[in-house]
Structure 1
Amino acid sequence: MKSKLIVSAVQQPCNEDRQTNLEFSIEKIHEAAAAGADLAVLPELHLGPYFCQNEDHNTFSLAQPIPGPTTEVLSAVAKKLEIVIVSTIFEERAPGLYHNTAVVFDKDGSIAGKYRKMHIPDDPGFYEKYYFTPGDIGFKPIQTSIGKLGVLICWDQWFPEAARLMALAGAELLIYPTAIGWDPLDTPEEHKRQLDAWITVQRAHAVANGIPVISCNRIGFEKAPDSDKGINFWGNSFIAGPQGEIITHASESEIKLLTADLDSSRVERVRRIWPYLRDRRIDDYGDLTKRFID
């Protein structure tokens, strides 16, 4: 990783049309570049409202190829501003085959790589299995001019196996574009428990792997189609260091550009005093490949 790195995450609402949301994201990327950032991370599926609250085959018309119209725009922005960008796009790979895909643009405007979401939820309000085929690229960091980025997406962030495999493959940052929120019908106590769990599990990935984490969420209430129900996206984007310490954090509702300075030499020091990779008992972990141990 570049020895001194300035990273940013854009916490924004995504409840307008595609062009409006994209222009808003680009405006914030410009702000990040003006602040000297090497990297700008956008929320999951930032081009529009979270469409997985119901199942509607007409929604597949929102998908686009990679490369495609949005990647062309963001490639030009990355090149102009000389900044690495992480965006997630509803990818049409082929007719009838769709993915939730993160695209990484390098500073020269090229597509450095992509990651297709591996863990696909299917819960009330989050009917992603209807829309997304699980990824087939695997947990492979994306090499960029600023280092190897371990990009994962939303539901992936709850799985320690995903974070570990990225770290074992050389990821120097863990990056989680996210769209997660509360059911407004749940109690305030349940809201707090869910949010605390979400922050804690990602900080734990930083600790267990000795590398920083960037978690970037959207904000605002988004009504479900043909219903009075919806999701209140809880924001709380944050950047954490290699010991899980919170460097910068946003509230549940503010539009905010989070920016943090990262030092790769500190990652090295942390891994020397907490040598998890050295002490892993890989000879006894075979059962991790089983669904359940009876």
Structure 2
Amino acid sequence: MSGSEFESLEKILEKHIPDQELKEVKRILFGKETKKLVLPACAVEAALEGDFELQGYMFEASMEQLRTPRTVRVGLIQNRIVLPTDAPVLDQITALHKRIGEMVDVAAMCGVNIVCFQEAWTMPFAFCTREKEPWTEFAESAEEGYTTRFCQELAKKYNMVVISPILEREEVHNVLWNTAVVVSNSGSVLGKTRKNHIPRVGDFNESTYYMEGNTGHKVFQTQFGRIAVNICYGRHHPLNWFMYSMNGAEIIFNPSATVGGLSEPMWSIEARNAAIANHCFTCGINRVGTEHFNNEFTSGDGKKAHQDFGYFYGSSYVAAPDGSRSPGLSRTRDGLLVTEMDLNLTRQISDKWSFKMTGRYAEYAEELTRATKQDFKPNIIKE
């Protein structure tokens, strides 16, 4: 069996480990068991008809005397591209709008309040090719582009916050950015945030198209909680998660596009660790499928030229501040993961573990400031 073929780690464990041991294995691997959500029959039927996976789980908090539960439902959507990469640009975008629209319809049936799509969801992940055309034609305005207008209609129709990661074209300076647009449930554009960290790893040398973002670590106050978007490669940088949390994020989304041979062993760890360390919920979304391109490309790593750069392994999941996490979506199929979370859990876990209260931020800041100076010398004591 090749790495791209098996459906999920969870299903392999369930197939080969006896039930009694399986419960303990899952406890150690995934933390406290997350209860399954009972989703409407109409949603289950629609997902079956639409040929995508539908899962639902819930993260509970303790009942408090002075605060009522702050329950929110979040939807994560992972998908493969619909048309081949050499189809006309507008046809590819339109086909993806239609596909995602169908999946958001099901999210609405499930009572989702906030939905997040995968990184650069309106296009193939063509940044590996180093070609500018036709890929830069997928770039559009974050405020007025056809994709943002499409998301505004969804948001208004379903009273749902929509997080839409796109390739942005800023018309004034004709600059491209990797951007997540946040559309309020009212239908207005609440704002945008740009990818802070750009990979230069093999095929993922995206600085050919855009550079590091300039929007800092924005947190968006929505009707359903305070949210932030840590785009793709930013998940490898603990301080990136930390700064969103310091700015008050209760849920941090990580829309991504990453392939099996490169990052899969890290995938289940990074967002979960960020949830624990920062007393917040984290949501990792990764696309699925293998995308083929007409022209061969190389990565500057001595390997042969190729026309794809591996399979996107999906496995989208949600992690909670108490160290628990949902099972992942399939590694091979389109999917919608619905999670119900009580945001009161963020403060409850913070009170228990006090990672933020015991953090030595002034000392860290002082030492980091010194470390950025040209004359910096590491604090190493020698005999």
State the TM-score, normalizing by the size of structure 2: 0.71
**213-222 or 139-148: bigger deviation:** 139-148
CA 1:156–1:5 in 2, change beyond 3 Å: closer, same or farther? same
- In 2: Cα distance, 1:108 partner to 1:278 partner: 36
Note if 1:201 corresponds to 2:279: no
Equivalent residues in 2 for 1:18-167, closer than 5 Å: 18-58=93-133, 59-67=135-143, 68-94=145-171, 95-167=173-245
Counterpart code for 1:8: G
- In 1: Cα distance, 2:275 partner to 2:344 partner: 15
Q: Percent identity over the alignment? A: 27
CA 1:168–1:25 in 2, change beyond 3 Å: closer, same or farther? same
Instruction: State the secondary structure of the residue aligned to 2:357.
Output: helix
C-alpha deviations, 1:168-206, integer Å up to 9, x for none? 1000101011111134xxxxxxx6xx3221210111000
Mark the structure with the bigger radius of gyration: 2
CA contact (8 A) 1:150 1:166 kept: yes
C-alpha deviations, 1:110-166, integer Å up to 9, x for none? 111111001011222212101112111101111211121111100011111011101
Counterpart code for 2:234: D
CA 1:222–1:276 in 2, change beyond 3 Å: closer, same or farther? same
Counterpart code for 2:132: H
Instruction: State the secondary structure of the residue aligned to 1:214.
Output: strand
Shift of 1:86: 0.7
**215-224 or 166-175: bigger deviation:** 215-224
C-alpha deviations, 1:7-56, integer Å up to 9, x for none? 11011112521111121111111111110011111110111110101112
Shift of 1:277: 0.8
- In 1: Cα distance, 2:119 partner to 2:326 partner: 21
CA 1:15–1:209 in 2, change beyond 3 Å: closer, same or farther? same
Structure 2 gap segments, 5+ residues each? 1-67, 84-91, 297-305, 379-383
CA contact (8 A) 1:15 1:222 kept: no
Shift of 1:224: 4.0
Structure 1 gap segments, 5+ residues each? 184-190
- In 2: Cα distance, 1:284 partner to 1:274 partner: 20
Q: Which has the higher strand share?
A: 1
**Number of equivalent positions:** 285
**264-273 or 203-212: bigger deviation:** 264-273
CA 1:35–1:29 in 2, change beyond 3 Å: closer, same or farther? same
1:287 aligns with 367
- In 1: Cα distance, 2:213 partner to 2:348 partner: 34
Shift of 1:287: 2.8
Shift of 1:225: 4.2
CA 1:53–1:148 in 2, change beyond 3 Å: closer, same or farther? same
Note if 1:12 corresponds to 2:79: yes
Instruction: State the secondary structure of the residue aligned to 2:356.
Output: helix
2:89 aligns with none
CA contact (8 A) 2:77 2:118 kept: yes
CA 1:39–1:246 in 2, change beyond 3 Å: closer, same or farther? same
- In 2: Cα distance, 1:98 partner to 1:293 partner: 37
